[in-house]
Amino acid sequence: MGRIALVVDGRPHILPVNYVFDEGAVVFRTSAGLKLERGPLTEVAFETDDVDRRRGVAWSVMVQGTAHHITDTLDPLSRRLRDLPVETAAPGARLEWLAVYADHISGRRFKLPPT
């Protein structure tokens, strides 16, 4: 799970999404709402992180780029992205596809302090 950040009426909104990263894009499914209404063709940020306590490491990755509504697009890349196995966690139908095409990717990995 990750988080998509977009600006709505001048204020930042951060919303959880299940995603797949492939072909330089973060891809997720959604339904009607802020992500679909305000995300496409805007600059957004995506962030995900994880902790591996067994190995004693954690990491965080941020993707910045432009969001695109790809549900009905016919180009070969959009077709491939819609074939990715994006499972949704939230209840209800998530039939719309959004992709964030990465302009910039940054991240950090670090060791956890001993417990």
Placement of tokens 């902790």 in the chain: 51
Please state the CATH superfamily assignment of the domain spanning residues 2-111 in this structure.
Electron Transport, Fmn-binding Protein; Chain A (2.30.110.10)
113: tokens are 């302090």
Entry pTM: 0.90
Q: Is the pLDDT of residue 115 over 80?
A: no
| Nearest Cα residue to 77 out of 65, 86, 68 | 68
List, for residues 48-96, the tens digit of each pLDDT value.
999 999 999 999 999 999 999 999 999 999 999 999 999 988 888 899 9
Strand ranges inside 9-86, DSSP E = 11-17, 20-22, 25-30, 43-52, 57-69
Q: What is the structure's pLDDT at 92?
A: 87
Residues 6+ positions from 48 with CB-CB distance below 8 Å: 1, 2, 3, 19, 60, 61
Q: What is the structure's pLDDT at 90?
A: 84
